[in-house]
Amino acid sequence: MNALLIAAAAAALQPAPATPQALAPPPADAAIVAEIRKLEHDWGQAFVKRDFAFIDRIVAPEFRLAGVTDAGQERLTFRAEWMRNSRAFQHEAFAVEVVDVAVAGDTAVALAQGLWRVKRRPDRPAEAMRFAVTDTWVRRGGQWQVIYRYSHRLPQAPWPPAPKPAP
C-alpha cells in the first residue's frame, strides 16, 4: 500500500506534457514592435537625408556589421569604419519592409528586406542593391540602439518582393 501511495504521489508531482500553446513565446509588446519598425524605416531615410546625428544616436558604440563575401568569407565591419563609409557614400534611395520583430525584455531582433540605391564613388553611377538584414537592438536608458547587423545581398530577388502565398 505504501508503495502505491508513493507511486501516486510521484506521478502527481510530474509536470504535465507541454502543449504547443505552452511552448509558444508570449506575444511581443505591440508598442515596442511598432517603435522598432519605425526606427528601421527612419534609419534608411536618415541615409538619404544625410541625417548622421540620428544615425549616431541609434548605432551603438560596439556596433558590428556582419556579412559574407561572394567567395563565402565572413566579413566584420566595426562602427568606426561603417560610419566612415556611410558618410562617404551618396545614398539616393532606400526602401525597407520590416518582415518580423521579436522582443525579449530590452532586446529586439528585426528582420527586414529592402532596396538601396547608393553611389559608392563619385566617379561611378549609383547601384541598386537588394538586401536582407537582421538587426539586434538593445534599449538603454529608454533609447533603442543597434548593436549588431547581419546583412546579406539578394542580387536576384525582385523588388517589391513577391506576395506570400496564403496558408
Confidence label for 14 from pLDDT (cuts 50, 70 and 90): low
**59 against 122, higher pLDDT:** 59
What's the CATH architecture for 27-153? Roll (3.10)
- Domain limits, the chain: 27-153
For position 25, what pLDDT does the model report? 66
What would the pLDDT profile of 83-100 be if each residue is shown by its tens digit?
Answer: 999 998 888 888 999 999
What would the pLDDT profile of 97-119 be if each residue is shown by its tens digit?
Answer: 999 999 999 999 999 999 988 88
Element (H, E) at 139: strand 127-140
